[in-house]
Amino acid sequence: MLQNINLQEIIIRSIAVLVTIIPHEMAHGFAAYLCGDETAKNDGRLSLNPLHHLDPIGTICLILFKFGWAKPVMINPNNFRNRKRGTFFVSIAGVLTNFILAIISVIILKHTNLNGFMQELLLSTFWFNIILGVFNLIPIPPLDGSKLIFSFLPIKYEYYLAKYERYGYILLLLLITSGALDKILIPMVTFMINLIGKIV
């Protein structure tokens, strides 16, 4: 697989990854800030500096295998003016940002005559944003989908489930290595592509 990736493709994927991950993480931090929590702001997560957002191993995996992760944005829900509403908006902010960027990429492709490098870059940006957005909707901790569910649960259940968040990494790893993750992602990705097609 790696032998089939040339230098231009690595450059395109690298740029697309930055355009995908940085707005996603900034959206989480900015939503938290708007909801009353300045933890992400104080950690420098409202910055465009990639070094503040990228996890080295997760970024390499995303470039090479189209699957990866960034540094988690630290928030303190106790600072939210409304805890449940804040948790919801912070959780959904990154995913919505990815889908908006995917829509923008399609619009630019549709209404311009770009080709070559720029066309491939926009296509790659579209795919990475769709994949990251859909992947984060899976309701397994620590993904955003689990936080969305938390936002609708009583706080006592939220604390209870949060204790088992570390096991979510193991479950995700099992889903990836077994190939079961593809069975979850492919229908969701297909649905989002069709939905964006109707919107655009």
Residues annotated as catalytic (active site), given as ranges: 25
Omega before residue 142 within 30° of 0, cis: yes
Residue type present at position 62: L
Q: How far, in Å, CA of 83 to CA of 105, rounded?
A: 34
For residue 70, the SS3 value is strand
In sequence order, which residues have a C-beta less than 8 Å from that of residue 35 and are 6 or more positions away? 80, 81, 82, 85, 86, 89, 90
Cα angle: 179, vertex 181, 183; to 5 degrees: 85
Taking CA atoms, 173 is separated from 25, 73, 99, 168, in Å, by 22, 21, 25, 9
